[in-house]
Amino acid sequence: MSKIHIVSNRLPYSIKDTENGFSLKPSVGGLATGMKSIYKDYHGSWIGWPGVAKEDHSTKELDQIDALLEKENCIPVHLSHEEINLYYEGFSNRTIWPLFHYFTQFADFNAETWEVYKAVNQKMADATISILEDGDSVWVHDYQLLLVPEMIKSKMPNVTIGFFLHIPFPSFEVFRTLPWRKELIKGMLGADLVGFHVYDYERHFFSTVRRLFGYEISFNQIHVEDRIILADAFPMGIDYDKFHDAALATHQKPLQEKSRLHQELEKYFLTSPDRRLILSIDRLDYTKGIPNRLKAFARFLEKYPEFRYKVTLVMLAVPSRGQVDHYQQLKKEVDELVGSINGLYGSINYTPVWYFYRSLPFENLIELYSSCDVALITPVRDGMNLVAKEYVASRTNKSGVIILSEMAGVAKEMGEAIIINPNDENDTAESIYQALTMPLDEQRERMSYLQDRIKRYDIFKWANEFVKSLNTARDIQSDFLAK
Ligand code: ADP
Ligand code: F6P
């Protein structure tokens, strides 16, 4: 049976080190949560980093970790502290991540991190090549592994390779500032199919390829000497039924079986019939616009004092990339903003912002999605943003309003949300007012359209479309060679 192997920086499971030994826990992030629902359907392996440094564990412990991951068809590529520092925190998250999200002032161009980025990409490619069998395909993911497609293709030209970028691809004017721009594009062009979340990113990619290499591009096909490469937009979906069914089950549970969080949420609503909750969920990342969001919420409380004591912002931020300085500064800024809003507008029986700096289990996520009246999603740049889709899927009674940044890829699919510019604090504050006063009929009408769309193009459809296009890319290439 031909298989599709997945390659990504992070495996879908991370290692939990407890007194009773190691266990696996799900990794956070759009790529991991999305692909975890489907990769087993492709009968291949998932190659990537298990999230720990190899020096921190003995050989025996690393063997235990490998054995746990093997049960989930995962093949770990172990990285040293130095590799994590220079490849992951360094070139991936201090150079590509800020640049591709238009944070050009944060992008660090450093030859040392570039060298280690290349070396780790080679390690991932070699680990993949070592398990490939005739007829297998490979699906490489995201900006940490831009060189892997070419590294595999150069050794195994007959393997069909797909590549999907989970973050934006920036305008050429931004991309061109990278000293290693040609190498990165050559790396991506080792794939037979290159996928993006939305057409805008694809368009920037085409113009970059044309301007750097002069290759001819027609009807989504890039003509590169003896090869034809397809590129297209595939907006990533979620496992809609999983979220929807879990939300239904949550509502049906008797009170005593509900989690502590859920019982607290219910108590909160019982204290007064007009209590309302606004939800904010992300990794703590400067691209997510968390300070803007807090300032807009403060502006809302200032402008509409009648909502004080009634509306609470539940803010969940998962710790992310904590070794990178810009993330540390963001953490400090968010802590201070939360403190100042709670200090200014809070009282003994009212806390305007409930702030949780941690990852929550799936059950609690669902409880929050289904209990909060408004989802406030305000990234300054975001490749897609799956949280918006998860909120939609969890609204089983079709109430609820989404306030959504136009800078998130998902905004293209969510015309029924209240669309805002996250840099416009006043407008965001007004949209909070609009969301909280939106009549129930209107909420339900908007939510029905959103649910139909997000359910139809779910993660399974997304993956099927990608794999179908990968097969087309392979056929186009064989026809081309046969001519
Ligand atoms: P990104 O990939 O940039 O992190 P997405 O919104 O696309 O952003 O995906 C985030 C994923 O991480 C979602 O599937 C969401 O459910 C999950 N997630 C976000 N915050 C938390 C949290 N505090 N606890 C658990 N999972 C979370
Ligand atoms: O979806 C974008 C993404 O960067 C993924 O590549 C990544 O797995 C996720 O967000 C979380 O980031 P990290 O793996 O750095 O914790």
- Our mutation pick for probing the ligand 2 site, out of 9, 13, 31, 36, counting the most ligand atoms within 8 A of Cβ, is 31
The number of the ligand 2 atom at minimal distance from the alpha carbon of 31 is: 1
Does residue 252 register a pLDDT over 90?
Answer: no
The percentage of the chain sitting over the pLDDT mark of 90, rounded to a whole number, equals: 87
CB neighbour class for 465 (10 Å; exposed up to 12, middle 13-18, buried from 19): middle
What's the pLDDT score for residue 263? 81
- Closest listed ligand to the CA of 284: 1
The amino acid occupying position 422 is: P
- Choose the weakest-confidence range: 26-30, 288-292, 324-328: 26-30
Q: Give the tens place of pLDDT for each residue, 334-364.
A: 999 999 999 999 999 899 999 999 999 999 9
The number of the ligand 2 atom at minimal distance from the alpha carbon of 320 is: 16
Q: What is the C-alpha to C-alpha distance for residues 266 and 219, in angstroms, rounded to an integer?
A: 54
Q: 28 CA to middle of ligand 2, Å?
A: 8
Q: 168 CA to middle of ligand 2, Å?
A: 13
The model's pTM is: 0.96
Query: What b/e string do you get for 364-387 counting C-beta neighbours within 10 Å, with b at 16 or more?
Result: bbbbbbbbbbbbbbbbbbbbbbbb
- Closest listed ligand to the CA of 37: 1
Long-range contacts at 177-182 (CB < 8 A, ≥ 24 apart): 177/99, 177/104, 177/107, 177/109, 178/95, 178/99, 178/109, 179/109, 179/111, 179/114, 180/114, 181/208, 181/212, 182/212, 182/213
Nearest CA to ligand 1 atom 12: 29
Q: 33 CA to middle of ligand 2, Å?
A: 10
Does residue 2 register a pLDDT over 80?
Answer: no
| Ligand 1 site residues, Cβ closer than 6 angstroms | 28-30, 33, 281-283, 316, 318, 359-360, 365, 384-387, 390
Does residue 443 register a pLDDT over 90?
Answer: yes
Residue bearing the bigger pLDDT, 465 or 17: 465
What's the pLDDT score for residue 273? 76
Does residue 138 register a pLDDT over 70?
Answer: yes
Does residue 30 register a pLDDT over 90?
Answer: no
The number of the ligand 1 atom at minimal distance from the alpha carbon of 361 is: 25
Q: Is 425:296 a contact under the CB 8 Å cutoff?
A: yes
Q: What is the mean pLDDT of residues 307-313?
A: 96
Q: 80 CA to middle of ligand 1, Å?
A: 26
Q: Give the tens place of pLDDT for each residue, 447-456.
A: 999 999 999 9
Q: Give the tens place of pLDDT for each residue, 262-292.
A: 788 878 777 777 899 999 999 999 999 999 9
The number of the ligand 1 atom at minimal distance from the alpha carbon of 34 is: 14
Beta bridge partners of 120: none
Q: Give the tens place of pLDDT for each residue, 366-407.
A: 999 999 999 999 999 999 999 999 999 999 999 999 999 999
Mean pLDDT estimate for the chain: 95
Q: What is the C-alpha to C-alpha distance for residues 389 and 413, in angstroms, rounded to an integer?
A: 10
Q: Which two tokens stand for residue 232?
A: 């297209």
Q: Give the tens place of pLDDT for each residue, 100-134.
A: 999 999 999 999 999 999 999 999 999 999 999 98
Q: Which two tokens stand for residue 220?
A: 């989504």
| Residue corresponding to tokens 């940490």 | 144
What's the pLDDT score for residue 36? 84
Provide φ and ψ at 468, rounded to 5°. Answer: -60, -45
| Ligand 2 site residues, Cβ closer than 6 angstroms | 10, 29-32, 142, 166-167, 283, 320-321
What's the pLDDT score for residue 401? 98
- Choose the weakest-confidence range: 199-208, 272-281, 308-317, 446-455: 272-281
Nearest CA to ligand 2 atom 5: 31
348 vs 39, 300, 306, 307, 345, CA distance in Å? 49, 21, 18, 16, 11
Residue bearing the bigger pLDDT, 341 or 42: 341
What's the pLDDT score for residue 269? 74
Q: What is the C-alpha to C-alpha distance for residues 127 and 117, in angstroms, rounded to an integer?
A: 15
What lies within 8 Å, CB to CB, of 3 at 6+ separation is: 42, 43, 44, 45, 133, 136, 137
- Closest listed ligand to the CA of 288: 1
- Closest listed ligand to the CA of 9: 2
241 vs 21, 27, 84, 385, 413, CA distance in Å? 33, 20, 36, 18, 18
Q: What is the mean pLDDT of residues 59-72?
A: 95
Does residue 254 register a pLDDT over 90?
Answer: no
Q: 258 CA to middle of ligand 1, Å?
A: 23
What's the pLDDT score for residue 34? 80
| Residue corresponding to tokens 């925190």 | 89
Nearest CA to 376 out of 429, 426, 414 is that of 429
Nearest CA to ligand 2 atom 9: 29
- E strands along 418-479, which residues? 418-420
Q: Are strands 137-141 and 353-356 parallel, antiparallel or unpaired?
A: unpaired
- Closest listed ligand to the CA of 404: 1
Q: What is the mean pLDDT of residues 39-62?
A: 93
Q: Which two tokens stand for residue 264?
A: 């607290």
Q: What is the C-alpha to C-alpha distance for residues 393 and 365, in angstroms, rounded to an integer?
A: 12
What's the pLDDT score for residue 271? 74
Q: 31 CA to middle of ligand 2, Å?
A: 7
Q: Which two tokens stand for residue 395?
A: 């609204």
51 vs 78, 166, 282, 296, CA distance in Å? 8, 19, 19, 35
The percentage of the chain sitting over the pLDDT mark of 70, rounded to a whole number, equals: 100
pLDDT bin (cut points 50, 70, 90) of residue 480 is confident
| Residue corresponding to tokens 């393997």 | 159
Nearest CA to ligand 2 atom 14: 10
3-state secondary structure of 424: coil
What's the pLDDT score for residue 392? 98
Q: 266 CA to middle of ligand 2, Å?
A: 33
What's the pLDDT score for residue 268? 77
What's the pLDDT score for residue 1? 62
The number of the ligand 1 atom at minimal distance from the alpha carbon of 288 is: 3
Q: What is the C-alpha to C-alpha distance for residues 2 and 399, in angstroms, rounded to an integer?
A: 44
Does residue 260 register a pLDDT over 90?
Answer: no
pLDDT bin (cut points 50, 70, 90) of residue 85 is very high
Q: Which two tokens stand for residue 192?
A: 């037979």
Enclosing H/E stretch for 10: strand 4-10
Q: 97 CA to middle of ligand 2, Å?
A: 10
Query: What b/e string do you get for 168-179 counting C-beta neighbours within 10 Å, with b at 16 or more?
Result: bbbebebbeebe
Q: 17 CA to middle of ligand 2, Å?
A: 21
pLDDT bin (cut points 50, 70, 90) of residue 25 is very high
Sheet architecture: strand order including 276-283: 353-356, 311-318, 276-283, 374-377, 401-405, 418-420
DSSP H helical ranges for 160-239: 172-175, 181-188, 199-213
Nearest CA to 447 out of 472, 422, 414 is that of 414
Q: 260 CA to middle of ligand 1, Å?
A: 22
Nearest CA to ligand 1 atom 9: 30
| Residue corresponding to tokens 């660090």 | 108
Q: 360 CA to middle of ligand 1, Å?
A: 10
- Closest listed ligand to the CA of 32: 2
* ipTM of this complex prediction, to 2 decimal places: 0.97
